[in-house]
Amino acid sequence: MDFDFSEAEQKFAVEVEQWLVDNHDPEVMDLTRENFSQLADTPARRAFMKRLAKQGWLGMSWPKQYGGQEIKGVYEFILNEALARHGAPQIGKGVGIIGKTLIRHGSEKLKKEFLPQILSAEVEFAVGYSEPQAGSDSANMQLKAERVEGGWKLNGQKMWTTSAHFADWYWVGARTDPEKKKHDGLSLFLIPMNHPNLEIQSLPTIGKDTTNQVFFEDVFVPEDYMVGKQGSGFRYIAEALDLERFTMFTLSPIEDRSNLLVEWVKSATRDDEPLRNDVNVRRTIAHIVTDTHVAKGLSKRFLSAAMSGGDKPPSIESSEYKLFTTTLSQRVCKDALDITGAAGQIREGEEDAPLAGRFEGAYRATLNETVGGGSSEIQKNIIARRKLGLPKNF
C-alpha cells in the first residue's frame, strides 16, 4: 500500500491550496464550525460552492457521460481535506451520496434532472433515514409509503434530518413492502422540500447547529421519483452510508486541533510550572499525536481499497475509519479540556478563554460525529461481523 501521493496528485493539492487562499472568505470559511461549514446556509456559501463547481472540482470521479472526469477518488479526498482544513464547505451529500447512487441505480429521468444540478451546485439535499424508532438501524424505518394512482403517498415522521430547514430536495427512505422482511421492504424517494404536506420543525442541538424533525401527511410522490427498484432501498442506503462515513468526517479539523493543543502546551504553565514537563500531559499529547497519524493511515487504507477495484464502496475500511476518527475527534477535545482545566470551559469570544475557547465549542460539536452516518455501536457491529466473522448475536 503506497501512502504517497503521485506527482499529479501533489500538483493538484498545491493548486487547490492556492485557490482556497485566493478565494478566502471569512463569512464562508470558519474553522470553529468544526467540520459543519456546509450547514451554515447563506448566499455567500452558495456562491462559494458555485465557484468551486466552475473549477470542475465537483463530481471529478463521476463517469464522463454524466459530466465527471473519471479520475481517481483520491482527488476528491485531497479536495475535501483541503476544504475542511480551511473551514470551508465540503463537496457534500449531492456529489457523494445522492449523485453516486443515482449514477449506479437511478433512472435516466432522475439522472438528467439532478446530476447536472449537482455538478453546478444548483441544488441542496437533505437525507431522511432516521426516525423516532429507527436511528442507526435504517432497516427499521416505519415511514409508510402506500401505492396510489400515479405514485405513492407517504405518512409518518423523520428525525434528525440535517439541512431540512434549507435543502431543496429530500432523499427519503420509506417502507413500501410492509409484508416483507425489514431489509427487503424499503424504497428510496426524491421529494421537493417545499411540498405542501411536509412539516419541518427545527431541533436545536447541544452543538452549534440545528437539526430537524419532519412530518409527512399524505405526501404524494410520483412513480418516477422512486430511486431504482422498489424494495431495494436498504441496499442503496447501505452503499451510500459507506461513502458518507468517509467523506462527511474529514481528518483535517482533528489534525488542526491536535496541532493547536501541542503548540499551546509548549508554552503554557500551571502554578508557574511548564505544562510540557508534566508527565501526564506529555503522555496525553503523545497519544493524541500518535492516534492522529493512525487516523491518517486509516484514511489512506480506505482510499487504497476504494481504488483497487470492485463496484461497491469498501464497507469495512469505511467503518474502521469512521469509528476511530470520530472517537479520536471527541477524545482530543475532552483531553484538551482536561489539560486546560476549569478555564477550558470558557466559551469562544470570552476574555481569558484558553486557546480562544476553541475546544469548549469543538467538544459540543463532536458529540454529533459519533452518531451521524451510523453510531459507533453500528460501526463495531459491522467490523465484528464483516471482518472478524463473529455471529450476529455474539
Torsion over CA: 211, 216, 220, 224 (sign): positive
**For 47-51, which contacts have Cβ atoms below 8 Å and span 24 or more sequence positions?**
48/23, 48/88, 48/89, 49/89, 49/92, 49/121, 50/120, 50/121, 50/122, 51/23
Beta bridge partners of 126: 170
Q: What is the mean pLDDT of the chain?
A: 89
Q: What's CA 82's distance to the chain center, in Å?
A: 15
> What percent of the chain is predicted at pLDDT more than 70?
93
Q: What is residue 15's predicted lDDT score, i.e. its pLDDT?
A: 97
Q: What integer is the mean pLDDT of 97-126?
A: 96
Residue 315 has pLDDT above 90, yes or no: no
Confidence of residue 300 (pLDDT cuts 50, 70, 90): confident
Domain ranges of the chain: 7-90, 126-230, 249-387
Q: What is residue 240's predicted lDDT score, i.e. its pLDDT?
A: 73
Q: 0.85 exceeded by the pTM?
A: yes
**244 vs 382, higher pLDDT:** 382
Beta bridge partners of 203: 211
CA angle 293, 294, 298 (to 5 degrees): 120
Cα–Cα distance, 169 to 330 (Å, whole number): 31
Domain 126-230 has CATH 3.30.360.10: no
Cα–Cα distance, 393 to 28 (Å, whole number): 46
Confidence of residue 192 (pLDDT cuts 50, 70, 90): very high
**Which of 46-60, 113-127, 145-159, 245-259 is least confident?**
245-259
7-90 with 249-387: one CATH topology? no
Amino acid at 281: V
In this structure, how many other beta carbons lie within 10 angstroms of the beta carbon of residue 70?
Answer: 11
**49 vs 162, higher pLDDT:** 49
Minimal CA–CA distance to 159: which of 193, 184, 134, 178? Answer: 134
Confidence of residue 295 (pLDDT cuts 50, 70, 90): very high
Summarised one tens digit per residue, pLDDT across range 17-54 is 999 999 999 989 988 877 676 677 889 999 999 999 99
Please tell me the chain's helix, strand, coil percentages from 3-state DSSP, rounded to the nearest 5.
50, 15, 35
**Which of 77-91, 208-222, 307-321, 380-394 is least confident?**
307-321
Fold of 249-387: Butyryl-CoA Dehydrogenase, subunit A; domain 3 (1.20.140)
**Which of 137-146, 201-210, 269-278, 288-297 is least confident?**
201-210
Q: What is residue 243's predicted lDDT score, i.e. its pLDDT?
A: 60
Residue 2 has pLDDT above 60, yes or no: no
Q: What is residue 348's predicted lDDT score, i.e. its pLDDT?
A: 84
Fold of 7-90: Butyryl-Coa Dehydrogenase, subunit A; domain 1 (1.10.540)
Confidence of residue 392 (pLDDT cuts 50, 70, 90): confident
In this structure, how many other beta carbons lie within 10 angstroms of the beta carbon of residue 264?
Answer: 17
Q: What is residue 245's predicted lDDT score, i.e. its pLDDT?
A: 55
Summarised one tens digit per residue, pLDDT across range 244-290 is 555 667 888 899 999 999 999 999 999 899 999 999 999 999 999 99
**259 vs 210, higher pLDDT:** 259
Minimal CA–CA distance to 36: which of 99, 92, 96, 76? Answer: 92
**Which of 27-31, 93-97, 208-212, 274-278 is least confident?**
208-212
Cα–Cα distance, 115 to 149 (Å, whole number): 28
Cα–Cα distance, 140 to 133 (Å, whole number): 7
Confidence of residue 227 (pLDDT cuts 50, 70, 90): very high
